[in-house]
């Protein structure tokens, strides 16, 4: 029986942007708000979510579940010191878990859907592997994390494009002619690549007119929740407007901006001390930023947030004025 939990995958186009730090502390914030929460480390091959939660790396987790012939994923739930929060570790000390087989992936996807909680947060590996894209698809919406720097933003947009193409590809699997054409289009040399999802849709429509409705539906329903990490001020938040243009013109989607986390030196201190930011430094500006994101999730997760790029700018401006 599938869970009624809100599943929140957390992804990034590249590593080093604070994805695991956000997942851990967002899980803590939701639990502190009174919601039963499970944090799962799905960065297979590079699991380190335990570190940001302050949990020792001695518990079996996803890797052991996939290698075991019996047992349920619930057997690997680890209690934490935070009331309402449980944790499922990743690959622990197992090797080669980044290359799990298709059957293992499908087993894991099914079992995650069976878990019972108010919120289930998934810390995914960076980049756009098929496993990561399919894990991201577990949630109706997902969080993508970026810093304001250009390489991180480009990588995030690349991840979102890959996810859309992966979703379209899976929806067309039974339509062989269109599937074949899609594969041809996305494997062309870079100088011949289709630059936008809209143009891709038009190319596929020449083969099968009904495909246009399908892709339009996918684009309309997919609204990524974007979080900026390590921002310095209002000028960084203006980047949201530029990203919105790329989402609309290149990917044919809309996004919602759910948070802006200020650059804060205590973050490095919390990592070095293996102390969760929200419990060790609850009054820091970074911790307050994450707590506000949790509040937005509780209130707005299943709703579009009109003008969110403008609102995030206004929020950052007010925060700077208070300092």
Domain with residue 81: its CATH number is 3.40.50.300
Is residue 204 in some structural domain?
no
Is residue 180 in some structural domain?
no
In the chain the first and final C-alpha atoms are separated, in Å, by 49
DSSP symbol at 97: G
Phi, psi of 40 (to 5 degrees): -120, 130
Number of structural domains the chain divides into? 1
Is residue 125 in some structural domain?
yes
Q: What is the pLDDT of residue 99?
A: 84
Provide the percentage of residues in the chain whose pLDDT is more than 90. Answer: 70
Does residue 142 register a pLDDT over 70? yes
Q: What is the pLDDT of residue 307?
A: 86
pTM, 2 dp: 0.95
- CA pair distance 88, 122, nearest whole angstrom: 10
DSSP symbol at 17: S
Residue range of the domain that includes 40: 6-145+259-316
Is residue 237 in some structural domain?
no
Q: What is the pLDDT of residue 95?
A: 65
Is residue 134 in some structural domain?
yes
- CA pair distance 160, 222, nearest whole angstrom: 10
What are the tokens at 30? Answer: 């939701």
Q: What is the pLDDT of residue 163?
A: 97
- CA pair distance 40, 109, nearest whole angstrom: 12
Q: Which residues pair with 75 in a beta bridge?
A: none
Does residue 173 register a pLDDT over 80? yes
Is residue 211 in some structural domain?
no
C-alpha distances in Å from residue 286, one per residue of 27, 106, 157, 276: 15, 36, 24, 12
Does residue 299 register a pLDDT over 80? yes
**Residues whose CB falls within 8 Å of the CB of residue 182, separated by 6 or more in sequence, listed in order:** 165, 168, 169, 172, 200, 204
Is residue 44 in some structural domain?
yes
Does residue 301 register a pLDDT over 90? yes
Is residue 230 in some structural domain?
no
Helix (H, G, I), strand (E, B) or coil at 12: coil
Per-residue pLDDT of 203-220, as tens digits, reads: 898 878 889 899 999 999
């Amino acid at each position: 029986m599938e869970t009624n939990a809100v599943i929140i995958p957390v992804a990034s186009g590249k590593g080093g942007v604070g994805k695991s730090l956000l997942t851990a502390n967002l899980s803590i914030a939701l639990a502190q708000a009174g919601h039963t929460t499970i944090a799962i480390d799905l960065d297979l091959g590079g699991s380190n979510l335990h570190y940001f939660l302050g949990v020792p790396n001695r518990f079996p987790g996803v890797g052991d579940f996939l290698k075991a012939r019996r047992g349920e994923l619930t057997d690997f739930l680890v209690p934490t010191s935070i009331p309402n929060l449980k944790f499922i570790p990743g690959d622990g000390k197992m090797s080669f878990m980044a290359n799990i087989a298709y059957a293992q992936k499908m087993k894991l996807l099914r079992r995650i859907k069976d878990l019972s909680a108010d919120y289930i947060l998934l810390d995914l590996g960076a980049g756009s592997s098929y496993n990561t894209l399919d894990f991201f698809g577990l949630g109706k919406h997902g969080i993508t994390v970026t810093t304001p720097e250009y390489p991180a933003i480009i990588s995030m947009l690349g991840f979102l494009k890959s996810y859309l193409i992966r979703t379209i590809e899976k929806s067309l699997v039974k339509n062989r002619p269109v599937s074949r054409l899609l594969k041809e289009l996305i494997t062309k040399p870079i100088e011949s690549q289709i630059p936008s999802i809209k143009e891709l849709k038009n190319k596929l429509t020449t083969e099968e007119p009904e495909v246009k409705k399908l892709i339009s539906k996918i684009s309309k329903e997919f609204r990524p929740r974007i979080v900026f990490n390590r921002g310095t001020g209002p000028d960084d938040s203006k980047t949201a407007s530029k990203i919105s243009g790329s989402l609309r013109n290149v990917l044919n989607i809309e996004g919602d901006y759910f948070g802006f986390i200020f650059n804060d030196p205590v973050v490095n201190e919390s990592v070095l001390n293996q102390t969760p930011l929200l419990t060790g430094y609850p009054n820091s500006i970074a911790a307050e930023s994450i707590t506000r994101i949790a509040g937005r999730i509780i209130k707005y997760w299943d709703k579009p947030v009109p003008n969110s790029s403008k609102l995030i700018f206004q929020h950052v401006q007010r925060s700077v004025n208070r300092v």
